[in-house]
Structure 1
Amino acid sequence: MNAPPPTAWHPPLSANRATWLVLRKTEPETLREQQLLNALQSSPQFALAIDLAQSFARLVREQQPEHFEAWLDQALHSQIAAFVNFANGLKEDFAAVQAAMKLSASNGQVEGQINRLKLLKRQMYGRAGIELLRRRFLVAN
């Protein structure tokens, strides 16, 4: 009696993995990834959400502020609550978002230093005052 061939076990598709699959810069590398992407796109609402997410990522990556207003209108009229809320937030800071797409300047270094300082502060919570925090921060550099 022949036993059926074993099938490969695949972990369930998590939200993080689905996001990575949809927003990655390259095409799916494996047949499994392509099948997952096709399954996600088989639903009209998911297909629209995937299209909106990919087009926004493309706008940011390729710095195309001239297409931002059209994307914003499409997202606002998409009937997908998450995108409508996201688009409303972007609409409030329209000029800042467009400027971020135009300029190559970044505040990543500043944000990284602030994040590191907050981490050190949380680690030392309740232990001492600003002087110890200052010494610890300087030693960490």
Structure 2
Amino acid sequence: MDDRWNEGRTNAWKLWEEIVPLGYKGSYGIVSAYIRKKRTSPRPVTAQPPAPRVVTRWILSRPESLTEVEQIRLKAVLADCPALDALTGHVRSFAQILTERQGERLPEWLDAVRQDDLPSLHTLAAGIDRDRDAVIAGFTLPWNSGVVEGHVNRIILWNQQCQVVCL
């Protein structure tokens, strides 16, 4: 009877009619009391799954910066989804290559990505491959174009302001 309850069958009379032909010898009153008890008993509390945005933040954060509870919850989410677990490993190793300026490890990372069935990462890997030498240099060399990009951004904003004033 619990299986039928879990399927959404909550009418005591219909449940009683269903189990009598199966050999049930009890009265309708017993079935009714059982269903009444099920209706009024507290339901087990289940943890709400974390929002995708929260899981994304956990994956993109340094593991040591997560609280113990966040680490446990992330571990549970990753245990339920092997593809997300593999993605997390790739994201974190890519972040390490980027932040520790280890561009020489990029080909190894690209090979590891291609081993897993993660189409979105395959797209990223193909894009990186098109400019592999430049990406490796960007991950390895100490120079960057940040100052130039800042000047370009300032010029674009200035140009947009001039257009608004001229209109």
Same fold (TM over 0.5): yes
What is the TM-score normalised by the length of structure 2?
0.60
Alignment-mate amino acid for residue 61 of structure 2: R
Q: Which has the higher contact order (CA 8 A, sep 6+)?
A: 1
1:24-71 residue CA offsets vs partner (Å, 9 max, x unmatched): 235143233213321332111000000000011111111222321111
- Runs (4 or more) in structure 1 with deviation over 6 Å come to none
Partner of 1:118: 156
**What are the within-5 Å matches in structure 2 for residues 87-126 of structure 1?**
87-126=125-164
Of residues 12, 37, 55 in structure 2, which corresponds to 1:18?
Answer: 55
Q: Which runs of 5+ in 1 are unaligned?
A: 1-9, 130-141
Of residues 51, 60, 63 in structure 1, which corresponds to 2:98?
Answer: 60
Query: Higher helix fraction: Structure 1 or Structure 2?
Result: 2
Of residues 123, 128, 135 in structure 2, which corresponds to 1:85?
Answer: 123
Partner of 2:27: none
Q: How many residues align?
A: 120
Aligned partners of 2:120 and 2:94: how far apart in 1?
Answer: 14
Identity %: 29
Q: If you compute each CA radius of gyration, which structure gives the higher value, 1 or 2?
A: 2
Alignment-mate amino acid for residue 36 of structure 1: R
Partner of 1:50: 88
1:95-119 residue CA offsets vs partner (Å, 9 max, x unmatched): 0011112201111222223223333
Aligned partners of 1:117 and 1:18: how far apart in 2?
Answer: 38
Query: Could you say what the CA RMSD is over the residues aligned between the two structures, in angstroms?
Result: 2.7
Q: Which runs of 5+ in 2 are unaligned?
A: 1-47
Does the aligned pair in 2 maintain the 1:21–1:28 contact within 8 Å?
Answer: no
